[in-house]
Structure 1
Amino acid sequence: MDTDGRITFDLPLRSAEGRQLLLRLRPKKGLPEKTVHVLDLEPADDGRRRAVLGPHPVLAEGRWDVYLLREPGSRRQRLRPGLRDLRALVDGHLHDWPSPLAVRIPYVTRDGHLAVRAWLRPAHAEVDCIDVTDRSMTVGARLHGATLLEGAVVCLRLRGGNGTLRVAEPRAGRDGRSFSFTVDHEELAAGTSAESGVWDVFMQPAEGAPLVRVARLLDDVADRKEVFVYPTVTLDGAGVRPYYTVDNDLSVTVTKAG
């Protein structure tokens, strides 16, 4: 991986007879395949074959499975990953990203194959830290592709709650992009009428502006949900816990006793 999003695929000698790589956007369950991207394999100096996925075209958001094509139009063969050099991604959160934000992370699937996780968003709020106490949680984040203006608010939207919102006041940093906010556990528990609920976290950078999802995307971790695990706080019989979704977006789950 390069810092500009370029991915270089090197295939060893035993796979050198392949002619192309095919990246397939994994369709949702029950839907047909719609989007593929084909890369030509070219000879490299060390006898390998090499394919380069440049920063353009921008990949649509989703998971892209990687295949080898021995001949154009031939049967696809899934690839297994060798060494993945992702050092260029580690400090991605320290850089300014333009709009739209386009992120790619090569990763290993659960069944051991190579894939690329891509995000494509008009703007993004990158989580820096989450501090959980017995009464509240405080989140620090930074906007990319947008700037904090008058009327900015943080919105927590109850999933499936017919538009139920809780609003938090952001504390803006001097750069006009960094901010932090605090969420009261008791307030979220009181707003969850069912036995359990999930609150998705958004930033609205100006009054009337589109909501920007708060997430953590700008490093080398493709699937964060099982890696960054925060404690559950129990308050008046309700368990409250921040977590990252399968898309690395920040949400808060509330589970009531009984």
Structure 2
Amino acid sequence: MSGVERVGPSGPVEKPRGEVTVEKEGRLVVRVRLPLPTSARPQLLLQLRPKKGEPEGTGRHVELEPAGQDQWRAVLEAAPALEEGRWDAYVVGAPGEERTPLLPGLRDLRALVSGGSDGRPTPVAVRIPYATKDGRLAVRAWWRAMHAEAGRIVLAGDSMTVTARLFGARLGKGAAASLNRRGQDTAVRRIALRAEGDQDLSFTVDYEELVAEGGGPGAGKAPVIWDVYVHPATGAPRIRVARLLDDIADRKAVFVYPATVLGGVSARPYYTFDNDLSVEVTPQRAR
């Protein structure tokens, strides 16, 4: 439960390890082994990773309370919600000390496995602890006032059928799905959807129609990306289709769908770095 091997005069020298339990209400319970006196006042720090070229903002500090011999515990309540993004976890031994990155320990994500889509409040706030590529503990957070949760995706022939459930909005007159070509706001393919109540829906994307709409790259050109949205009613704001309500922080490399070949291009659905649903149209390599 700890990566601590040596202790300096002002606290741990080696990186401690954090165990995280996600509770049903969205609360995070973090347990850390720190060989410090109980009179110490260490803190858990969650620091939002800034976008490239931007400075760090203010992080979220939570007191670590004694929980046994060299054991400390912090509880991050569900409210207020974390801003959408990736939050790196640190321990601060005392005010003014440098922060120490937390190594990932056991992560109990059972409360997230079922998806929790029934009766979920809005805005949709999601937190998933995970291990970064460089071996640190972090929390992936989403916060969306309106959300379309992607369900099953069925591939058949030259098309894909997507099921989804709306949160924070209801289906009304003029509801539709749309695919928007990334980087070209005027390139939009609107698709009729099938409503199953006022929240559940499905729609079918014909890959050939995407290519006909100018979505097919020429030979040797870069792939064309179409981002998937739902418009719950005429004039309503579009809602990004994504898969957020489970225990997978990064879907892109986990959910890999097969590509469909259409002449000189191939098309496939995929989840982006932010777990949003998109379609990639890629030129076929000459053999």
User: How far is 1:169 from its partner?
Assistant: 0.8
Given the alignment, which residue of 103, 107, 112 partners 1:89?
112
- Partner residue in 2 for 1:150: 173
Q: CA RMSD in A?
A: 1.6
Contact 2:269–2:280 (CA<8 Å) still a contact in 1? yes
- Distance 1:239-1:93 versus aligned 2 partners, 3 A rule: farther
Given the alignment, which residue of 5, 9, 16 partners 2:30?
9
Report the AA paired with residue 228 of structure 1: F
- Partner residue in 1 for 2:145: 122
SS in 2 for 1:82: strand
Given the alignment, which residue of 181, 186, 207 partners 2:203?
181
2:258 is aligned with 1:231: yes
Report the AA paired with residue 110 of structure 1: K
Q: Which has the larger radius of gyration?
A: 2
Mapped partners of 1:246, 1:15: distance in 2: 38
The alignment covers a number of residue pairs equal to 257
Contact 1:199–1:252 (CA<8 Å) still a contact in 2? yes
Quote the sequence identity (%). Answer: 53
Mapped partners of 1:47, 1:53: distance in 2: 20
- Partner residue in 1 for 2:190: 167
2:257 is aligned with 1:257: no
Deviation per residue, 1:199-229 (Å, 9 max, x gap)? 0000011111111100000000000000000
Instruction: List alignment gaps of at least 5 residues for structure 2.
Output: 1-21
User: How far is 1:238 from its partner?
Assistant: 1.4
Deviation per residue, 1:11-67 (Å, 9 max, x gap)? 125477671011100001121001311000101256521011001111100000000
Tell me the TM-score normalised to structure 2 length: 0.86
Report the AA paired with residue 243 of structure 1: Y
Instruction: List alignment gaps of at least 5 residues for structure 1.
Output: none
Tell me the TM-score normalised to structure 1 length: 0.95
Mapped partners of 1:193, 1:140: distance in 2: 25
Mapped partners of 1:35, 1:168: distance in 2: 42
